[in-house]
């Protein structure tokens, strides 16, 4: 039993916004916090658009979409999360930023509140040190982009995470309509330990002229049934995030096998981060 009625989400970006939408649709009172008011406005517009589209497509009844919208609140102050039964953090992949936020959240929420990070690869044990004697309530809830579409939540136990916290988190992910699968707190967990070296290898194949980027992607789509080619997926995830995850793998697993491809790093240096900057491996003029 998760005992969760209200969900707080830190970060109104792609991941945080998606998590909040899924929580509200599943019936939880949901508050999204972001320090940037602009991000909150964008997040609300996207929620309105996606819920309207779901109604248009006949996937959701209008009263259900209206009720989900009513359950969503957008807050520019962290204090708005103080009464939430779970707080899920989805901000930039910077351990210091995450720890500082969790330190504040642990101080303002009740002792039963679940504290979860959506980190893609930072150690849950390490992040959990920021919440002092609440580390037993600290856990990883790794969602996948686009959150409303992707089924998986990778549930990562830190060294101090209690079995009750794991049980509550698994029940919560199920109540959000997701499929939770446990993984241990090792670099990249399972998903990025396997996915990111594959993406990195696609950059090496491009750099070495094995094939053109569009052909590398088509080969993987048509030959391996990938919904997106690995280079398109890298743009979708963000090339800076890909480099960051490779760095975590290289350091944590202590092997040159996980070094980020120089071409991938060069694109990041040039500011070509993927969809979010309108250009990465490919170009996205509309953005």
Least distance in Å: CB of 188 to ligand 3HC? 9
Between residues 190 and 228, which has the closer beta carbon with respect to ligand 3HC? 228
Rounded Cα gap, residues 140 and 182, in angstroms: 10
Between residues 233 and 239, which has the closer beta carbon with respect to ligand 3HC? 233
The window from 23-31, 138-146, 171-179, 216-224 that contacts ligand 3HC (CB under 6 A) reads: 138-146
Catalytic residue among 154, 157, 200, 244: 154
- 26 contacts ligand 3HC (rule: CB under 6 A): no
Between residues 9 and 106, which has the closer beta carbon with respect to ligand 3HC? 9
- 58 contacts ligand 3HC (rule: CB under 6 A): no
The residues in 198-227 that bind ligand 3HC, with binding defined as CB under 6 A, are 227
- 57 contacts ligand 3HC (rule: CB under 6 A): yes
The window from 30-38, 127-135, 148-156, 210-218 that contacts ligand 3HC (CB under 6 A) reads: 148-156
Active site residue 117: no
By CB under 6 A, how many residues form the interface with ligand 3HC? 17
Active site residue 162: no
The window from 1-9, 140-148, 258-266, 273-281 that contacts ligand 3HC (CB under 6 A) reads: 140-148
Instruction: Report the candidate in 73, 138, 78 with the shortest Cα–Cα distance to residue 108.
Output: 78
Active site residue 154: yes
- 13 contacts ligand 3HC (rule: CB under 6 A): no
Kindly give, in sequence order, each residue whose CB lies less than 8 Å from that of residue 71, ignoring residues fewer than 6 positions away.
Answer: 24, 27, 28, 29, 30
**Considering only residues 49, 59, 103, 212, which one is a binding residue for ligand 3HC as defined by CB under 6 A?**
59
Catalytic residue among 89, 142, 157, 200: 142
Catalytic residue among 6, 117, 120, 130: 120
The residues of the shown chain that bind ligand 3HC, judged by CB under 6 A, are 50, 57, 59, 120, 144-146, 148-150, 191-192, 227-228, 233, 237, 241
Give me the active site residues, please.
Answer: 120, 142, 154, 192
């Amino acid at each position: 039993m998760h005992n969760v009625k209200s969900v707080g989400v830190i970060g109104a970006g792609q991941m945080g916004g998606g998590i909040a939408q899924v929580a509200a649709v599943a019936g939880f009172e949901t508050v999204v916090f972001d320090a940037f008011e602009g991000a909150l406005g964008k997040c609300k517009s996207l929620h309105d658009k996606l819920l309207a589209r779901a109604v248009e497509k006949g996937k959701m009844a209008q009263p259900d979409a209206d009720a989900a919208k009513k359950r969503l609140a957008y807050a520019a102050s962290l204090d708005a999360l103080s009464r939430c039964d779970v707080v899920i953090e989805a901000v930039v992949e910077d351990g210091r930023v995450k720890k500082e936020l969790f330190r504040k959240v642990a101080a303002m929420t009740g002792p039963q509140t679940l504290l979860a990070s959506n980190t893609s690869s930072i150690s849950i044990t390490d992040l959990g040190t920021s919440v002092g004697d609440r580390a037993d309530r600290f856990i990883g809830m790794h969602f996948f982009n686009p959150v409303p579409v992707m089924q998986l939540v990778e549930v990562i136990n830190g060294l101090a995470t209690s079995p009750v916290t794991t049980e509550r988190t698994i029940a919560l992910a199920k109540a959000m309509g997701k499929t939770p699968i446990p993984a241990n707190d090792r670099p990249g967990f399972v998903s990025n330990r396997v996915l990111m070296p594959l993406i990195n290898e696609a950059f090496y194949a491009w750099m070495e002229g094995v094939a053109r980027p569009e052909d590398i992607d088509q080969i993987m789509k048509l030959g391996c049934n990938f919904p997106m080619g690995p280079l398109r997926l890298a743009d979708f995830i963000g090339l800076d995030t890909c480099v960051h995850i490779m760095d975590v793998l290289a350091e944590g697993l202590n092997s040159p096998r996980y070094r980020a491809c120089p071409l991938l790093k060069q694109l990041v240096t040039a500011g070509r981060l993927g969809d979010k900057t309108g250009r990465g491996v490919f170009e996205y003029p509309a953005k």
